[in-house]
A and B are shown apart, each in its own frame.
Chain A
Amino acid sequence: MRVPYRRLLIYAIAFAVAIVMNFLLPRLMPGSPVEAMIAQFGKRATPAMIEAIKIRFGQGDATLLEQFWDYLKGIATLDLGISTKYYPQTVLEVLGRSIGWTLLLVTTSIVFSFALGSLLGTIAAWRRGSRFDGVVSPLAVVLLALPPVVIAVCALFLFGVSLRWLPLGYAWDPAMDPGLSLAFLGSVAWHAILPVATLSLFLVGNFQATMRNSMISMIGEDYVTMARAKGLGESAVMFSYAARNAVLPNLTNLALALGSVFGGSVVTEIVFNYPGLGLTLFQAAISRDYPVIQGQLLIMTLATLLANLAVDIVYLWLDPRLRDQAA
């Protein structure tokens, strides 16, 4: 049971591309981020700091190749630089504060929308042409065409401002002390409802449409007919025989969608003022905090790649044909 080398190669190259982009962009772009960064420090800037920034962003005396080597060494030792906005905190500290919230938001939404989308897609395909199918399936395609910004803003307006059912933003009640108390966790869950629902709504259409497509091609298979001929109940045939196999293409689809999941979470966090990576990225972008923006791309790429790897492994585990092959 092992992940094909080709996948690993793709991940390695993707990560390398992100690193090279991070390295080259500030050195290629017109106008100097370095000057902007030094200007931001204002009086706090010591000559040593200015020197450090210049070296990091390519205005030192070293050649491009030497700079790149230093940059790689920095990444290998998890040194992503120092935030200009939250000076003297390092980029790693700034990102570390927020990554947990994003993980909470993203994993909950993926699990929820994948389960819901697969279920709806399964039923829609099983009862193809029924009224359920006629309403739910076009709806999924329409959801796909809605930007997360629009979903989030409308949800915030409807449930947060107009109906006042749910909080307007942030991850917990600011009046509370963060801790492992039941009240605090309840507050966290309460504040997560709208962001998770928004992100799920954005994702569910994709999973549902894919599930329906792959389910429809399964229904004609011999083993489904056989299960019916054995006299198994309708739901047993639907879930244990057809959907069990149809979920595999949907998993591939999940891996492909991971990049857009992070895109959606960025927007959702900004609208709901949710203190995750996306909001940090947004604030960094506004104040042109380049080290944080760059660290962000690396972390998000890394997270996407790891999630892809996880999907690959789950896929192997779910598909016995692939599992036995490697043995």
Chain B
Amino acid sequence: MIGLLHTLWRRKMVTIGLAIVLAFVVIALLAPVIAPYDPVARVGRPHEAPSAEHLLGTTRIGRDVLSQAIWGARTSLAVGLVGGLVITVLGTAIGLIGGYRGGKVDEVLDLATNVVLVIPNLPLLIVLAAFLGNAGTGAIVAIVALTSWPWGARVTRAQTLTLRHREFVLAARLVGEPTWRIVGVEILPNLASIIGINLVGSIIYAVIAQVTLEYLGFGDPLSVSWGRMLYNAQNSSAITVGAWWDILTPCAAIALLGLGLALINFTLDEVANPQLRSGPALTRWLRLVDRRRRERKPA
């Protein structure tokens, strides 16, 4: 575990990624303190350009864009974290049970996984959201979680299948360890990197899904979130009237959070599968090989 953390720390990319995500967490937590204005109050004229008074300008109805972005971080992070966690727990549990149990149980779970996987997600989300009317944040999390666990379940199942017949698992079974202990203590730690990748990926997915649903107008109209900001900006034709601050601010916030999470995931991927690495060590090695080759070949 300490070794894993050490490897993670040594990598620049993951450091940047973690810094970005942590910064967002701090911003979200401190929103009441750092936001210059009330995000839903009318504090200026419509579509004021960025100025010292309103660092990122105002929206069509005169709200402060920066304050909205800061408060919006709360919603996006909350949905991302909770949604990502639920998706990961569901996917891991279903994959583990299916992969370890095998037989009929596995067949049914695997079938369910594949079925949910081939139904297009967003159209399904839209249908559910349309019938729910204006879906609150909780409903969005639930809908997103219920439709997007199969990715994790697939990967976890495949890995569990290969682990199930390893000797240490067999040994544990022969010693007479109870099933929960074999699955929880012997197998689960070996899935740590896969679960990590699944978690970060699911957080990204939940954030994207929420932004998309809000942008399409299925969110709670009173909430402050990045997706809602995009929706409002689109509806007030911020793009065509040239109010770039109104539309680019939520875009930048979403992109930056996505960048942070993606950098973390990229590193996790390399830790889980050392073959994929392309860090400085490999570059140095390749250069060495290259020079050797050139030296041997007289020009």
Q: Are the C-beta atoms of A25 and B215 separated by less than 8 Å?
A: no
A14–B118 CB distance below 8 A: yes
List chain B residues, Cβ under 8 A from A137: 266, 278
With CB as the reference atom, state the residue of chain B lying closest to A154. Answer: B251
Q: In the complex, are the beta carbons of B128 and A150 less than 8 A apart? A: no
Q: Which residues of chain B are near A48, meaning CB under 8 Å?
A: none
Chain B positions 116 through 144: 1 when the CB is less than 8 Å from some CB of chain A, otherwise 0: 01111111101111111100000000000
**A294 and B127 contact, CB distance less than 8 A:** yes
Question: Within 8 Å CB of A141, what residues of B?
Answer: 262-263, 265-266, 269
Within 8 Å of chain B (Cβ to Cβ): is A145?
A: yes
Interface status of A53 (Cβ within 8 A of chain B): no
Is there contact, CB below 8 Å, between B120 and A263?
A: yes
B211 at interface by CB-CB < 8 Å: yes
**A209 nearest CB across to chain B (Å):** 8
Task: Return chain A residues, CB-CB under 8 Å to B283.
Answer: 129-130, 134
A153 in contact with B265 (CB, 8 Å): no
The count of residues in chain A whose C-beta lies closer than 8 Å to any C-beta of chain B is 67
Contacts of B259 in A (CB 8 A): 142, 145
Against A, the Cβ 8 Å flags (1 = close, 0 = not) of B255-289 are 10011011101100100010110100011011000
Contact A149 B230 (CB under 8 A): yes
Tell me if B239 and A157 are in contact (CB < 8 A): yes
Judge whether B215 and A149 touch: CB under 8 Å.
Answer: yes
Q: Which residues of A contact B128 (CB under 8 A)?
A: 25
Residue B19 is within 8 A (CB to CB) of chain A in the complex = no
Inter-chain contact B117/A259, CB cutoff 8 Å: yes
Contact with B along A2-40 (1 / 0, CB 8 A): 000000011101100110011001100101010000000
B153 on the A face (CB < 8 A): no
A17-B115 contact in complex given A138-B263, A294-B127, A297-B123, C-beta closer than 8 Å? yes
The answer to the question of B8 belonging to the interface, with a C-beta cut-off of 8 Å to chain A, is no
| Among A13, A147, A266, residue most surrounded by chain B Cβ atoms (within 10 Å) | A147
B46 contacts A by Cβ under 8 Å: no
Which residues of chain A are near B69, meaning CB under 8 Å?
none
Taken residue by residue from 223 to 240, chain B's Cβ proximity to chain A (1 for < 8 Å, 0 otherwise) reads as 000010010001000011
B25 at the A/B interface (Cβ < 8 Å)? no
Q: Which of B118, B130, B251 contacts A308 (CB 8 A)?
A: B118
A256 within 8 A of B: yes
Residues of B within 8 A of A267 (CB): 122, 212, 215-216
Q: When the two chains form their complex, are residues B258 and A304 in contact, meaning their CB atoms are under 8 A apart? A: no
Select A263's contact among B114, B122, B242, B276, beta carbons within 8 Å. Answer: B122
Task: Please determine whether A157 and B115 come into contact, CB atoms closer than 8 angstroms.
Answer: no
Contact, CB under 8 Å: A297 / B127? yes
Give the contact stretch, choosing among A177-185, A280-288, A317-325: A280-288
State the Cβ distance, B164 to closest chain A Cβ, in Å: 21
**Does chain A have a CB within 8 A of B149?**
no
Contact of A147 among B13, B211, B234, B275 (CB under 8 A): B211
**A63-103 vs B: 1/0 string, CB under 8 Å?**
00000000000000000000000000000000000000000
Kindly list the 8 A-B residue pairs having the minimum CB-CB distance in the complex, ordered from nearest: A263-B122, A145-B258, A145-B262, A129-B282, A259-B120, A147-B208, A262-B120, A141-B266
Q: A301-B119, A304-B120 are in contact. List 6 more A-B contacts (CB 8 A).
A: A21-B124, A25-B128, A147-B208, A156-B239, A157-B244, A293-B127
